[in-house]
Amino acid sequence: MDLNEPGRRRILFVDDEPKVLDGLRRMLFPMRKEWDMVFAPGGKEALQMLSLEAFEVIVTDMRMPGMDGADLLDEVVKYHPEIVRLVLSGQWDPEMSIRSAKTAHQYLTKPCSAEMLKTTLDRIFALRRVLSGRSLKRLVSGMTTLPSLPAMYHKLIETLESSDASTGRIGEVIASDTAMTAKVLQLANSAFFGVSHRVSHPADATRYLGVDTIKALVLTIGVFSQFTGPPEAAATLATLQRHSLRTARVTQAIAKAAIAGKEIGDHAFLAALLHDVGKLILVQKDPEMYHSAMDLAFKEKLDLDSVEREVFGGSHAEVGSYLLWLWGLPEPVTEAVAFHHRPRECPAKALSAVTLVHAADAFARELDESPEGEPALDEAYFEEAGLSGELAGWREIARETLEAGEDS
């Protein structure tokens, strides 16, 4: 079966409790016409099935004799990185949660309703169709960390190993790095470490997880990684980092002026920090190819998104939003990342995180005279949303915000 083609989707459920597997069979019986569901009674049996058949998603329990869920997911990442990895467990174990935090995409708690499981899996299948080509799905699904700038990575390690490490100091370092922000928000917005909280700021996420958990995740499990590519690619990452931080500051200022409300403002700020996270993935995949794509877009005055789709099989917006959704970040955030260059393709036409991030990204690029062949501000979108009269004021806010940042 070609899993790149639409049709029946294949899911492997793993649990050592026969009653649990029987319950899943009964609960998901209505989906039998859309999904091919296979049930394995343990980790070793699951690996055997994976060696013989292709699956898109694995849903596993954690506490199992012989090979537990964390060990199973380690093997899945190693040999089947294209598979989406979900944990479905009713027994919260801090040690096991830390072990699985690097390899699991999302953590669902038992009892999990059929509707919740169906919604989660349907969303995964829909997103997978956006990325053309098995190699890109394999790359994104297989990612357990994103590359951080070496200087920021070493600064975090130094902070964690200091005798007076605090969530405040740790949060400041994480908030200044796009890759670290994405990963820590994945963990804080999941059930990996207890009851899920909707957290939209890396500093809040760090306080929620706590110093000891962050230390274990970073120093023992390695949930963050430093970029080890060529110097020119590292320079590209540094430029992306600077732009993301500046865009987030502009987004925050515009949201305040627009009286967007705390929830929209928080989601927009986080989405602005992460809006170019897909570029980190594409640069890491092939630095030379990505530089060639950027040069082509600039020289030929082409839309960079379109060039990325032609070269890689997906744009940085699509790749980034796919990974962030797999990691369980709030939907308004993943939506804003997905549509930050093409807001008219977003169903919502009112003031939202998409609106704020698109405007802030465009203004930041205008004011910084970005050399990339990026799409300009979509003024037709703002007309449809009834916000075209706000643009001049927002552009001035962006200019003042960025100038103030340079002076500080």
Q: Taking the domains of the chain in order of start, what are their residue ranges?
A: 9-130, 150-226, 231-407
Low-confidence ranges of the chain (pLDDT < 50): 1-6, 407-408
- The distance from CA 150 to its chain's CA centroid, rounded to whole angstroms, is 20
**What does the pLDDT read at residue 133?**
67
DSSP state of 42: S
In the CATH scheme, what is the code of domain 231-407? 1.10.3210.10
**What does the pLDDT read at residue 355?**
96
**What does the pLDDT read at residue 230?**
86
**What does the pLDDT read at residue 3?**
46
**What does the pLDDT read at residue 368?**
81
**What does the pLDDT read at residue 382?**
94
**What does the pLDDT read at residue 408?**
47
- Can you list the pairs that 40-43 forms with residues at least 24 positions away whose Cβ atoms lie under 8 Å? 40/12, 40/13, 40/14, 41/14, 41/15, 41/16, 42/14, 42/16, 42/66, 42/67, 43/14, 43/67, 43/68, 43/69, 43/71, 43/72, 43/75
**What does the pLDDT read at residue 196?**
58
Looking at domain 9-130, its CATH architecture is 3-Layer(aba) Sandwich (3.40)
**What does the pLDDT read at residue 198?**
74
Residue (of 111, 75, 138, 178) closest to 326 by Cα position: 138
Greatest C-alpha distance within the chain? 64
Q: Are 304 and 263 in contact (CB under 8 A)?
A: no
**What does the pLDDT read at residue 132?**
63
